């Protein structure tokens, strides 16, 4: 007769082997988020990561992410299509039409959001709605899983926030850009942004860990975009492959403005051309480069294929 300890270990092993999606299971990729994921308004000067991921895996892409988005305009208002007020309703409208339903078992849903929620004109600069807090923002992000689960979805990949304090807009060496031309203490911004990102990522992880056991039949993975981009920043030689020296602080398309200059003005812009672009981690002062997006796509493609991925932890 097996001892309770052996039975417990066996059940744990079966559970661990069953975590995540299986090889060959995922046929559809549904993406939500902001400009990091938007395939209509391209933020990297080339091709966005979901298009690459779809091409790498053969999964059919259903893109709902929109540039400028926050989780909810009721928490951090921006005049862009937010996740809850625009993207999810658009998805539900599309899937309610004849032939619009997706097979839950073969569909992976991803969310990569937060950059605008914690950034300028939002939490960083005190522009939330009322007493909006980081807790409300992270609760909103995690609620995306519950809302889709209740509609029938079962496979989720939650992509956390990158180290935004290393992006040119929020780095200590930041300069006026079209994203922010007002005076600010760049060191203070960078330190505060680091705390917002680290705290936000920690909160969403704890919330997802608490949520996962309550959703029967769901598979929830956390894609650690923060650690991936931190590694790209620390060891660019492993990821960037352009024809000029690696550049982790500049941008392919950099535009310098004067203080308090209207953002409608063009600024003074410089552009990197050709294969040299792939030596850069950032496309502009706020967005990853196309080469960085290829890396994201490569790693997410492993998840879609049901393979082990070093940046992904399956909670269920």
Question: With contact defined as beta carbons under 8 Å apart, do 228 and 165 qualify?
Answer: no
Residue whose entry in the numeric block shows the structure tokens 């200059």: 261
Strand 268-271 to strand 312-314: parallel, antiparallel, or no bridges (unpaired)? unpaired
Handedness of CA 231, 233, 237, 241 (dihedral sign): positive
The full set of domain ranges for the chain reads 25-237+290-305
pTM for the full model?
0.93
Residue 26 pLDDT exceeds 90: yes
Here the tokens at position 208 are 């997802």
**pLDDT reported for residue 13:** 37
- 7 pLDDT above the threshold of 80: no
% the chain with pLDDT above 90: 90
> From start to end of 11-127, where are the E strands?
28-33, 60-63, 107-112
Using pLDDT thresholds of 50, 70 and 90, give the confidence band for residue 14: very low
pLDDT at 97: 76
Give the SS3 label for residue 124. Answer: helix
pLDDT value of residue 180: 96
**Cβ partners under 8 Å of residue 23, min gap 6:** 305, 306, 307
Residue 36 has pLDDT above 90, yes or no: yes
Q: What's the token pair of residue 67? A: 């540039």
In the prediction, which pLDDT does 224 show? Answer: 98
How confident is residue 9, by pLDDT bands cut at 50, 70 and 90? very low
Sign of CA dihedral 73, 74, 77, 79: positive
Average pLDDT of every residue of the chain:
93
Single out the residue of 167, 31, 157 nearest to residue 87, CA to CA.
Answer: 31
For residue 205, give the nearest of 83, 313, 69 by alpha carbon: 313
The C-alpha atoms of residue 237 and residue 232 are separated, in whole angstroms, by 8
Looking at CATH, the fold of the domain delimited by 25-237+290-305 is given as: Rossmann fold (3.40.50)
Predicted pLDDT of residue 99: 67
The pLDDT value recorded for residue 43 is 98
Residue with tokens 């990569």: 112
**Residue-wise pLDDT tens digits, 195-238:** 999 999 999 999 999 999 999 999 999 999 999 999 999 999 99
Predicted pLDDT at 263: 81
Kind plus residue range of the DSSP H or E element containing 64: none
| Each residue's pLDDT tens digit, 77-105 | 999 999 999 999 999 999 887 667 899 99
State the Cα angle at 205 between 204 and 210, rounded to 5°. 95
Least confident of 16-20, 110-114, 250-254: 16-20
pLDDT at 46 over 70: yes
Residue 32 DSSP SS3: strand
Least confident range of 14-23, 40-49, 285-294: 14-23
Determine the pLDDT at residue 286: 98
């Amino acid at each position: 007769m097996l001892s309770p300890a052996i039975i417990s270990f066996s059940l744990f092993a079966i559970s661990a082997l069953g975590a995540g999606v299986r090889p060959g299971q995922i046929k559809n990729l549904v993406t939500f988020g902001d400009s990091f994921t938007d395939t209509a308004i391209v933020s990297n000067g080339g091709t966005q990561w979901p298009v690459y991921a779809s091409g790498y895996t053969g999964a059919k892409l259903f893109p709902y992410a929109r540039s400028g988005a926050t989780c909810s305009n009721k928490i951090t208002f921006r005049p862009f299509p937010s996740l809850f007020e625009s993207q999810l309703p658009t998805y539900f409208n599309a899937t309610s039409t004849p032939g619009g339903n997706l097979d839950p078992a073969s569909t992976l849903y991803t969310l990569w959001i937060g950059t605008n929620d914690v950034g300028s004109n939002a939490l960083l600069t005190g522009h939330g709605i009322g007493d909006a807090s980081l807790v409300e923002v992270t609760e909103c992000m995690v609620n995306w899983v519950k809302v889709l689960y209740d509609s029938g979805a079962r496979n989720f990949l939650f992509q956390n926030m990158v180290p935004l304090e290393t992006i040119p807009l929020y780095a200590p060496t930041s300069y006026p850009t079209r994203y922010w031309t007002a005076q600010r203490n760049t060191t203070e911004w960078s330190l505060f942004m680091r705390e917002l990102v680290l705290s936000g990522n920690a909160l969403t992880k704890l919330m997802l860990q608490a949520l996962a056991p309550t959703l029967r039949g769901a598979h929830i993975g956390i894609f650690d975009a923060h650690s991936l981009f931190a590694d790209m920043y620390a060891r660019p030689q492993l990821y960037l492959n352009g024809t000029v020296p690696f550049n982790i602080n500049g941008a392919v398309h950099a535009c310098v403005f004067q203080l308090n200059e209207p953002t409608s003005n063009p600024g003074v812009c410089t552009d990197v051309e050709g294969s040299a672009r792939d030596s850069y981690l950032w496309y502009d002062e706020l967005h990853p480069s196309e080469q960085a997006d290829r890396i994201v796509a490569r790693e997410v493609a492993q998840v879609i294929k049901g393979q082990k991925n070093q940046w992904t932890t399956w909670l269920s």
